[in-house]
Amino acid sequence: MTKPKRQRREFGAIRKLPSGRFQAHYIGPDAAKHYAPKTFAAKVDAEAWLTDRRREIDKKLWNPIDADRAESPMFEPYADEWLQTRLVRGRPLKIRTRDHYRQLLDLHILPAFRAKRLDQITPADVRKWHDNLLPDAPTMRAHAYSLLRTIMMTAYNSELIVANPCRVEGAGSARRRSRTVPASVDELAVIVENMTPRYRLMVSLAAWCALRFGELIEIRRRDVMLEYETGDDGERQLVAGYVAVSRGAVRDAEKNAYIAQDSAKSDAGSRTVHIPPHVLDAVEHHLQEHTGPNRDALLFPAPEGGYLTPTTLYNHFHPARDAAKRPDLRFHDLRHTGAVLAAATGATLAELQQRLGHSTVSAAMRYQHAAQGRDRKIAEALSLLVKPDTPQE
């Protein structure tokens, strides 16, 4: 027995939202799209609303003034469509960004605004919502507010509202409650020594090359290049090496798994990072002892294969950092450590920006500021340029 063919709706359209509610809209006699002033718990209610609008049009009772009132979409379907179609520099959102926005919407924004039309959201509504939003999580609070403001700005630019109601001054930024304290060179040595052998190099590259976790777990044998020279004694010597960073792995919340993405975090994230000479022997050893022979072999796979997860890494990293007496140190702080160490060498902003894969100079400036304690040593080094018998004014 064949299934009956699904009949296409002759008037209007209905779609089910991620929340489970239903949104209805139709094209009016004015050739404009008109949304229902609310979403519906049941599809049959959405169908009834469309039937009423069709009856009004057929009987020439349709009122364009009432239609204009309903033109501003409900916040929930508009935000859902915004998230699905959002482009950044002409490209869809990265998976991690999309998942982060989805979480902010579902947990912190939709509960307050899903039942309102865009044009019903007032500055007072936004301010009241923000006053009670995540008081103990200032960074997440700033992210949620920034997302709401961006969505409403898109609505304003599309002429769906007459003004953006998000006007809480300074709400889109948050001051960090605590500053990251980078690891010292000695602390790094202790952490590396106390890591399980197959992940020792991961700590070294995170710190000395300032690589992100997602970049590290996607590095493959083909991405690491080592350069050798033949000495006078005929022996090959390892003299240089670099890592080509052009991809990353991110966790896809919908699939509940890490997946590869074709590009790094941003265009600037695709870069070549040279490995400090004192780490080269460890790289060579790791390639020989802990990396498969295939060019696509991951440098730091999970024990069972595939992408290494943070949880598995933390099982080894946390005891190692405790051995260094740095229980406050997060794995991501190793990248911060590497950035500060690079700045301490006197690297320029442009050089830091390139090495770290930052798309803006302002991001690299944070690490230059952290290294400004070197100014006294710089001043002392300048004096060494002056000959003792040179008269000073």
Residues carrying an active site annotation = 212, 332, 335, 358, 367
DSSP 195-256: S-HHHHHHHHHHHHS---HHHHTT-BGGGEEEEEEE-TTS-EEEEEEEEEE--EEEEETTTT
Contacts for 242 with CB less than 8 Å, ≥ 6 apart: 224, 225, 272, 273, 274, 275
Q: What is the largest CA-CA distance in the chain?
A: 105
Distances (CA, A) of 42 to 28, 107, 290, 358, 362: 23, 23, 56, 47, 49
Look at residues 140, 155, 13, 173 and name the one whose alpha carbon lies nearest to residue 72. Answer: 155
**Rounded Cα gap, residues 282 and 202, in angstroms:** 10
**Rounded Cα gap, residues 389 and 354, in angstroms:** 42
**Rounded Cα gap, residues 224 and 243, in angstroms:** 5
**Rounded Cα gap, residues 275 and 140, in angstroms:** 35
Look at residues 99, 207, 78, 94 and name the one whose alpha carbon lies nearest to residue 154. Answer: 78
**Rounded Cα gap, residues 321 and 134, in angstroms:** 30
Q: Which amino acid is at 126?
A: V
Look at residues 152, 156, 146 and name the one whose alpha carbon lies nearest to residue 97. Answer: 146
Contacts for 153 with CB less than 8 Å, ≥ 6 apart: 164, 166
Token pair belonging to 58: 């057929």
**Rounded Cα gap, residues 357 and 264, in angstroms:** 9
User: β-strands 224-230, 91-92: how paired?
Assistant: unpaired
